[in-house]
Structure 1
Amino acid sequence: MGATHGVEITGPRNDRYDEILTEDALALVAELHRSFEPRRQELLRARKERQDRVSAGEDLDFLPETAHIREDDSWKVADPAPGITDRRVEITGPTDRKMTINALNSGAKVWLADLEDANTPMWENMIEGHLNLRDALDREVDFTSPQGKTYALKGDDELATIVVRPRGWHLDEKHILVDGERVSGGIVDFALYFFHCAERQIAKGKGPYFYLPKMESHLEARLWNDIFVLAQERLGIPRGTIRATCLIETIPAAFEMEEILYELREHSSGLNAGRWDYLFSLIKVHRTRGRKFLLPERNSVGMTAPMMRAYTELLVKTCHKRGAHAIGGMAAFIPSRRDEEVNKNAFAKVRDDKSRESNDGFDGSWVAHPDLVPVAEEIFDGVLGQNPNQISKQRPDVNVTAEDLLAVDRTPGGISAAGLRANINVALQYLAAWMGGNGAVAIHNLMEDAATAEISRSQIWQWLHNDVTLEDGPKVTADLVRTIIDEELETIRGMLGDAFDEKRYQQAKELFSEVALADEYVDFLTLPAYERMP
């Protein structure tokens, strides 16, 4: 087996898969696994140890041992890289063939090609996603729908820059084994894209760029940096060619923003405010800490809540202090083809959200649908003009404390019967789609991904374990949740009619019940969900 000795592929090798699963690409996967898997496992254990301390009553805080990094004003991250100097609008989405074309053609500056939360990690999705990315760079990605509609790429100068989001450190890839061990999903995603597409991106005057999800500490960022260094060395690519934007989407990472930039400084292109996962993390980390950390239902938690303002303003200040981009959160609205009143109200909310971000100093923001690109672009054009970013806008007026970041109890809103039902309804619909291979799902005119399902089930778990009584109803109990699950399944059945997939919704019911009602909290619902997949 040559360079791939010790590598076993347990997934099927479908048409063209051998173009991605080459011996040399798998050799890079194997080397990265053997070099860094012990550290990944050590860092995952460190997550658990910190969680145990917080559950026992310890509050998160800025790290005293890294104060020297925060206090040293001399260091900066690398200068903005070609193709990601101007990031005023970024579109996100999975890497299926149609989305690949639509995202690249959308008019956005960047396409976050998502192998993580907007993607179900089925073997076919992962490998075909890599084929689509490579084919797009080779301009061989044309697509015709079953209805006969054709999709093709515009000219190279009109296309968004590809920035790939690999899976987080907690997820394995069960179809690739090295020395009998599962490989980190993040390492697989990074290595296969880097091996096949780095030189292709460089030839186009850009580079291999990444979004790094779910990190909880600067030591996890250090691990990514060391992986980048080794991978560039092996492929003979100059050190620093890779650029990475880190999602600050966990509450522990909010206390280590500067340290995360510092660890990746030669490869860093900024931070992103991953708002939905951030709410999920707030709930998860403090789930047993009583009513002080009890969030209202998710639809009432806006970005103007004090703790969210503290988080986003600190992110902008931190990034611009270090010469990095600050990228805003997702506008998840999906325009309706039938209801203009829904569109009118939603577009107004999107404009308000993007106006707040652009005025706060963000250099760009995310949208989930091509129709929102011109809306966000108009807002950021009004602030940026011809400037590619507003990194020069410093925020000395911002002074955020640990107490500000943890001020959950200052968030307005309540917990209603409708909120409980909405959590269950959205989670069931999302999980049914996820188990069927679709990780980005339009539900009630919003693009839902794994993060919103995580919020839904985590809130219910927290309400159950903190004896919450609904504002307009009974106490939240396991029996009440089970009853509403059955009722919402019937509602969905009536809504979908013949399109209701009995098998998928039964899987969704079982999975949701497991992660929402279990005595022991499951860290990520995607872990048991992934094990249910072939």
Structure 2
Amino acid sequence: MWYFIFSKTFKQLKPKPQVHQGVELETPPSGLEREFHTLFNSDALQFLSELISTFQAEVDKVLNLRVLRKVQLDLTGELPGFLKDTAHIRNDPSWRVSPVPDRLHCRHVDVGDLSPCDTQRLIIGLKSTAQGLQIDFDDGNCPTYRNQIKGIYNVYQAVHNQFQDVPPISQAPVLMLRPRAWNMVEHNMMVNGREVPGPLFDFGLLMFHNAKLLLQNQSGPFFYLSKVESYMEARLWSQIFFWTEKKLGLPAGCIKATVLIECVLASFEMEEILYELKEHSAGLNCGIWDYSASFVNKFGHRADFLLPDRSKYVDMEKRFLHSYMDLLVQTCHRRGALATGGMAALLLPRDKESDLYKTVLRTVTRLKLLEIRAGVDGFMVYDMDLIEPMQKLFQLHSHGQNQLLQLREDITVTPEDLLTMPAGGVTLYGLRYNIAVGVLFIEAWLSGRGHFFYLGKVEDSATAEISRSQVWQWIRHQVRLEDDGTVVTRALVKLTLRNTDLFSTSTLFRDKQRLMTAVSVFIEIVQKNVFPEFLTTYLNLDHTFLSSQSQHENGQPDMVPKARL
């Protein structure tokens, strides 16, 4: 794919891509030549080519199955349930996942949303007392070519102990590597004439350069798998893991993966997902915002699934969410797998003596105590100052390294429990908040960043997904605000945008232009007749991201994005 980069004074055509045995790879971003040539040596390219060639057709299949399932739900109006065809798996009490390595037994507190291209934060994380680091190429990362190369190379440096004054990988927090999800494509590499699946690009490079050393140090390779929607997708990952282990001469089953249950459809297939990955499973993870957004994704056009204001009516204590967490813990512990909770997005104020600091800490403590009492074996925080107090909380309210013995046999979760939307309406504050998060995420993405900070929280693609999903759904169903009965329409969204202070912090012309572009994209996406399945897919395939990405990576000033040529 060719990109033309324009400035006020010149027009430049990028150098020709490198071609290696069926692999077409864009030339390295300026300043990353050493990293590029370290990662993309001939052996690595050969491995990537074989990996992608072997599994491209299967990736196409699972993505088509997603489309088919959505069409079936729309045409029939049916609701998901526990699958009849796999009842024998759920009803067989004998099977268990393979035991996890020692380093995964106790992961009370991981650092989440750690974008690997952020070298400084990665180093701080490696020096921290966290038990694990979520090395996030997905939710908290913007996958520009520069960011991917820098991030994968930073992992390489961490594993090969090339960072100064950082503990060796055998003593540092364990790396939980999170490649992109199946909806993401890597534009800068082609194999057999096709752009490659983003997760195979990330996974392949991470495995090729780090797996053997991680294994030697009893520190991996460990992964998070994002946005898995069915057991068929888990089966594909299992096939990829077995193939990779054999190809790299690794013991079968040495790769361990935690599947993030971020889709309502997957909540009905958790046992099957564990079963498909039983040799490679490190457990399941539950979180709030991607999972909540999936209801709009799958059922948002149905009035029965109107999701109320998340800032007021949606939290893990609501029936559909606490049932999901209870079922996840019960399922995992029944099969000997670890269950992990979501990420605390709140940021602690600097002043530890302030009332605000105490309020934030109390809020995080209450929410995480809810997860501990549900039986989770660990969870994530973004703010590293929360590591120590949350570890103490875990030690105080749990027993031992994990809670695998908490089988939660006291609960029974029904499809109705999982599908009952919370009561509540929509507020003007909630509308403003969702609009701000959606727009500011798009602006961050166009700047090459995958997360940002707003009103004392870290916001990433998960919160952006629920934000834009709710605005789309409220417009679609013409809901009325609790405040004054005003109907939520496209015109109201535009008026609300004009009355916000989003532009007040933008002083440079290019910043204002980029923010105006983000506003335009947000308006465009929330008024679509057909709901765009993933915000990141929309941005990743849209010309606005591609053009801005090209400018950003060549060190040129950001400008109004132009059409892809």
Shorter-chain TM-score above 0.5:
yes
Q: Shift of the alpha carbon at 1:437?
A: 1.2
Within 5 A, what are the aligned runs for 1:463-474? 463-473=474-484, 474=486
1:471, distance to aligned residue in structure 2 (A): 1.1
> Which whole-Å CA distance do the structure 2 matches of 1:500 and 1:299 have between them?
32
How far apart in 2 are the matches of 1:500 and 1:335? 31
Alignment match, 1:102: 124
Q: Distance in 1 between matches of 2:481 and 2:381?
A: 33
C-alpha change, 1:155 and 1:232, in structure 2 (3 Å) is closer
Label 1:503 to 1:11 Cα distance change in 2 as closer, same or farther (>3 A). Answer: farther
Counterpart position of 1:315: 328
Q: TM-score, normalised by structure 2?
A: 0.89
Quote the residue 1:20 is aligned against.
39
C-alpha contact (below 8 Å) 1:55/1:289 kept by paired residues: no
- Separation of aligned partners in 2, 1:434 and 1:334: 21
Runs (5+) with no aligned partner, structure 2? 1-16, 551-565
Which secondary structure does the structure 2 equivalent of 1:523 belong to? coil
Over 3 Å counting, the alpha-carbon distance change for 1:156 and 1:33 in structure 2 is closer
Does the residue aligned with 1:183 lie in a helix, a strand or coil? strand
- Give the aligned partner of residue 8 of structure 2: none
CA distance in 2, matches of 1:2, 1:122: 18
User: Which residue of the other structure, out of 36, 39, 50, is the alignment partner of 2:58?
Assistant: 39
Give a deviation string over 1:133-190, Cα, whole Å, max 9, x none.
0101222234xxxxxxxxx424656521001000111111010100110111000110
Structure 1 partner of 2:145: 123
Q: CA RMSD in A?
A: 1.8
- Asked if 1:508 corresponds to 2:518, the answer is yes
CA contact 1:91–1:112 (8 Å) conserved in 2:
yes
Contact 1:11 1:123 in 2 (8 A): no
* Structure 1 counterpart of 2:156: 134
1:497 is displaced (CA, Å) by 4.7
**Does the Cα contact within 8 Å between 1:86 and 1:389 map onto a contact in 2?**
yes
Match of residue 530, structure 1, among 531, 540, 549: 540
Q: How many Å separate the matches in 1 of 2:239 and 2:168?
A: 36
Q: Distance in 2 between matches of 1:51 and 1:345?
A: 42
Aligned partner of 2:491 among 479, 482, 498: 479
Name the CA shift for 1:434/1:2 in 2 (closer, same or farther; >3 Å): closer
* 1:467 Cα offset (Å): 1.6
Write out aligned runs for 1:92-491 (5 A). Answer: 92=112, 93-95=114-116, 96-142=118-164, 152-154=165-167, 158-290=171-303, 292-300=304-312, 301-337=314-350, 340-385=354-399, 387-408=400-421, 411-473=422-484, 474-488=486-500, 491=501
Aligned partner letter, 2:503: R
Cα-to-partner distance string for 1:13-70 (whole Å, 9 max, x where unaligned): 5322110112211222211211111111111111112112222311011110000000
Give the corresponding residue for 2:73: 54
Contact 1:11 1:176 in 2 (8 A): no
Is 1:68 matched with 2:80? Answer: no
Unmatched 5+ residue regions in structure 1?
143-151
Q: Secondary structure at the match of 1:38?
A: helix
Partner Cα separation in structure 1 for residue 179 and residue 472 of structure 2: 28
- In structure 2, do the counterparts of structure 1 residues 425 and 317 end up closer, same or farther at CA, with 3 Å as the change threshold? same
Counterpart of 1:87 in structure 2 is 107
Runs of 4 or more above 3 Å deviation: 1-4, 154-158, 495-500
Q: How far apart, CA to CA, are the structure 1 residues paired with 2:242 and 2:350?
A: 47
Q: 1:9 aligns with which of 2, 8, 25?
A: 25
Q: How far apart are residue 495 of structure 1 and its match?
A: 4.1
How many residues align? The count is: 519
| 8 Å Cα contact 2:308/2:424 also seen in 1 | yes
SS in 1 for 2:102: coil
C-alpha distance in structure 1 between counterparts of 2:53 and 2:330, whole Å: 38
Post-superposition shift, 1:500? 8.1
Q: Secondary structure at the match of 1:262?
A: helix
Q: Distance in 1 between matches of 2:72 and 2:478?
A: 23
TM-score of the superposition, structure 1-length normalised? 0.94
Instruction: Render the CA deviation track for 1:67-103: whole Å, top value 9, x for unaligned.
Output: 0000001100010213211111111111021121122
Bigger mean CA deviation after superposition, 184-193 or 195-204: 195-204
Contact 2:242 2:252 in 1 (8 A): yes
Contact residue 225 and residue 260 of structure 2 kept, 8 A: yes
CA-CA distance at 1:312 after TM superposition: 0.2
Q: Deviations over 1:366-423 (max 9, x none)?
A: 11110111121111111335x2111111111111011110011xx1432011111111
CA offsets 1:327-353 (integer angstroms, 9 cap, x no match): 011100112236933322121111111
The 8 Å contact of residues 167 and 189 in structure 1, kept in 2 or not, is answered as yes
- Give, in whole Å, the separation in 2 of the partners of 1:138 and 1:34: 29
Q: Check whether the contact 2:503–2:515 (CA below 8 A) recurs between aligned residues.
A: no
Distance 2:520 2:28 in 1: 27
CA deviations over 1:252-308 (Å, ceiling 9, x no partner): 100000000000000001000022110111121111111x21111121211000111
Please state how far the C-alpha of 1:525 moved relative to its aligned partner.
1.3
Write the distance in 2 (CA, Å) between the matches of 1:122 and 1:2.
Answer: 18
- Write the distance in 2 (CA, Å) between the matches of 1:159 and 1:481: 47
Work out whether residues 107 and 158 of structure 1, in 8 Å CA contact, stay in contact via their aligned partners in 2.
Answer: no
Query: Counterparts of 2:311 and 2:323 in 1: how far apart (Å)?
Result: 19
SS of the residue aligned with 2:499?
Answer: helix
The alignment partner of 1:174 has SS state of strand
